[in-house]
A and B are shown apart, each in its own frame.
Chain A
Amino acid sequence: MSAFKRKRGGQGAVGKKAKKAKVVADRDGAPSETEQGTKNEVTVPAPVSSGKWTNKERVLIFSSRGINFRTRHLMQDLRTMMPHSKADTKMDRKDKLFVVNEVCEIKNCNKCLFFEAKKKQDLYMWIANSPHGPSAKFLVQNIHTLAELKMTGNCLKGSRPLLSFDPKFDKEPQFALLKELFIQTFSTPHYHPKSQPFVDHVYTFTIADNRIWFRNYQIIEEDASLVEIGPRFVLNLIKVFQGSFGGPTLYENPDFKSPNMHRREIRIAAAARVREKQMVKEMQKMKRTEAKQDLSKDITADVFLTPAPEKPVHIETEAPEPRFSNKNKRKAMKRQRQRR
């Protein structure tokens, strides 16, 4: 590589035709192989953000204490995917929420993704526009991180994403607001110094079952064949506030049931079933042990009685006539025959 003359500058059109080495000082990547073309000269393009980065969005991603490994990995994944993000240490839960605004200001960020874990079970996510703007609180469910082996796609670190929204986002005002918030938070600004110039993955936000489903796909071919990269999660909206981490409530989700209530309902249902069974058992026991009535008269006793028809009483006044039995007759005849 030493024998090459390097010409720095924005020779974009020329550079594309020539086979060049893309070595940019700001990037983390390993230096690329150089194609031993016929030219000795190598054009290195100017750094991407040469005065063109205007959309200054910075997102602060951090969490409170008490998060578990999955949440931590999710946060790391989001930081990987979003080059315009900044990290911060864990916030103590004793501090009030508006302290987050101050942290954002210190870090010079205008958006914030704050993860809060409660009871080591439930994860809440705040997404806010830091100084004055709206904010929203979600319950996060079904988290799958980048590290899962079933998600086989891969993308450049820091490449800009395409954002894809469900048309349902335009139908309701709260979803429209959320859509704008998501767009501003998740889309990497053009010419961001840490971004890569290719667009090779797409985020989808869909509304199903009154929740927002997030997926990340890698674009493999130009004919739109996709493979999932991850992470993936489901957001259940709780409230939308007018201010950042506070302020008047603009929208409250009527279908939201707090996870505690959910667990409680399940427990109550189970308890109710058990109690019912017990009651049934007790009723049966009572029935068995209670004194049984002795019936004096069996009502079913005379069902099968078939009394004989009544005959008139016949009083005999005369002695019956003597009957001659056959037996003696036969013997008599037999003796007669024998005698003969």
Chain B
Amino acid sequence: MCKENLPYLCALGSDPGPCAVRLSVPSSSNSQSRTDSPGLAQVWPRRAQRSGCGCGCGGTDADIGTFLSVARHQNVWILLFVLDSKVGRPRDVTSSPREPLRTCEQERLPSTAAFSFFTFSAHSHLPSHSGLMVVDSGTMEPAEEQQQEQEEEEEEEEEEMLGLDSEEENSEMSDDELQEAFASGLLKPGMNVLVDQPKKHVNNVEGMKQCLADFRKDLPWVERLVLTNPPAEDVLSQAEGKVPKPANGDVNADDDFQREMFFYRQAQATVLEALPLLSKHGIATKRPEDYFAEMAKSDQHMQKIRKKLISKQMILEKSEKAKKLREQRKFGKKVQVEVIQKRQKEKKAMMTAVKRYQKGMTDKLEFLEGDKKQPGKDSAQGSKKAAAKKGPNAKRKFKDQKFGFGGKKSGKKWNTKESFNDVSSFRAKVANAKGGKKGKGGKQNKRPGKSVRKKMKGRS
């Protein structure tokens, strides 16, 4: 088919527009006219017909519209003609070339007639991919006024791309384009998958440098107080041999302590470097004692901070104490047990010694004196000495006095002045107690109940 007629015009991805348009020319000298400009008179006015796909492998011919005019701009041919509203519907239109519009008018074209705007290159038999622009005049105006419509159509004959864009978006490459790309060798046979191009990140180094050069201000150091330096040497941790210095100087952002220490050391290095510079410029870093000025954080806030710190410390101390106490109790229990055991041992030793003496095995009374040689039990020894000093018990003394021999005893039970005035045996509590507990007032050392004993046991 393509050999017979004028070049095909390929429409890019237009649906339901024609995918190619074949202009039929009656004369037979078409093969020559491919390279030259086709004789305009020959082309004109002909029926525009629709054909199949662009490479001419077949398709149906159908009249799509009426050819109107042609123009040439450099190497590009521009053909203008009117399409029928529904492509494929045959339409019998005869029109004269000179007054296209009026013929249309006479013919009473339907309101949805469309203009087509084709271009093709004269130098190749393949059309240039310049695009099909179809104007659907129906969208412009209401259908009734054809004249207005036609004026509109005339105005719209230049570039207008309406309604086809949405269809083009569905496929980036139309079938025809793909076929052509394949023919020219861009596509290889096999499974071709659409892949997104990797997103390119802008990195305009030259632009940035230029911008920096424009933007930079050269001020004396005093104005800006800037220093760039790596962190100071971490003397402490290196001495301990703990932290290995990262080889490339990059700090691990996830290790919180290391990271904060890195920042701290960087600040330290800056300060160390800056202090002499500041003193050189006469700027002080230490403010005098009497200088009171507003601070960034209010005094109230600082009080709160201090309280928090103190409370933290208290909590720490308390927990320390509690721990120690717990340890001590455990230790104390041990000590108590030991002491009891020791006492039992001593008692046993004492009893055996007494028995031996009683039985006459020994005649030494040294066991009575106890362990004088042991140091550090002075208080116990002292109390024992004191007890020994008192001599016989008060009870013994009384009994001796009462039942012992010698001395006047008859008047002993009468009151004397001294005994009457002696109020040492008066016990106010006993005298004033009204019906208190009998005797001593119960056992002094009341043994605690079972639950309390259990608790004590558990605690210790």
Contacts and interface: CB of A to CB of B under 8 A. Distances in A.
A64 interface: no
A164 B297 contact: no
B223 A190 contact: yes
Contacts of A98: none
B267 A163 contact: no
Contact of B212 (A22, A166, A176, A211): A176
A211 B215 contact: no
A152 B208 contact: no
A209 B287 CA distance: 38
A156 B263 contact: no
B268 A251 contact: no
A198 B283 CA distance: 7
A163 B224 contact: yes
A198 B287 CA distance: 7
Interface string A152-189: 10111110111111110110011011001101100101
Contacts of B169: none
Interface string B278-307: 100001111100111111110001101100
A290 interface: no
Nearest to B204: A250
A249 interface: yes
A51 B208 CA distance: 35
Contacts of B269: 164
A33 interface: yes
B205 interface: yes
A156 B286 contact: no
A186 to B, nearest CB: 9
Interface in A123-169: 129, 133-134, 146-147, 149, 152, 154-158, 160-167, 169
B296 A240 contact: no
B272 interface: yes
A58 B266 CA distance: 28
A248 interface: yes
Nearest to B297: A154
A168 to B, nearest CB: 9
B283 to A, nearest CB: 6
B204 A251 contact: yes
A156 to B, nearest CB: 6
Contact of A202 (B201, B270, B292): B270
A196 B308 CA distance: 29
B296 to A, nearest CB: 5
Contact of B285 (A34, A129, A166, A198): A198
A226 interface: yes
Given A206-B262, A208-B253, A199 B278 contact: yes
Contacts of A31: 292
A36 B22 CA distance: 110
Contact count band on B: 35 or more
Contacts of B216: 180
A199 B225 contact: yes
Interface stretch (A66-74, A213-221, A310-318): A213-221
B207 interface: yes
Contacts of A177: 208, 211-212, 215
Given A32-B291, A162-B270, A197 B304 contact: no
B109 interface: no
A248 B274 CA distance: 38
B290 A156 contact: no
B296 A154 contact: yes
A18 to B, nearest CB: 12
Nearest to A199: B285
A229 interface: yes
A206 B251 CA distance: 10
Contacts of A208: 250-253, 259, 262
Most chain B CB inside 10 Å of its own CB: which residue of A152, A162, A202, A229: A162
A40 B209 CA distance: 59
A80 interface: yes
B285 A163 contact: no
A192 B305 CA distance: 31
Most chain B CB inside 10 Å of its own CB: which residue of A21, A169, A187: A187
A224 B271 contact: yes
Contacts of B209: 173
Contacts of A134: 211, 215
B275 A229 contact: no
B419 interface: no
Given A32-B292, A149-B308, A166-B266, A197 B285 contact: no
Given A22-B290, A160-B225, A250 B263 contact: no
Contacts of B262: 206, 208
Contacts of A200: 285, 287
20 contacts: A22-B291, A35-B290, A55-B223, A133-B211, A146-B296, A152-B309, A156-B293, A156-B295, A157-B295, A158-B294, A177-B208, A189-B223, A198-B285, A206-B263, A211-B253, A222-B286, A229-B297, A251-B204, A251-B208, A252-B201
User: What 4 A-B pairs come out closest when comparing CB atoms?
Assistant: A209-B253, A29-B293, A164-B270, A224-B271
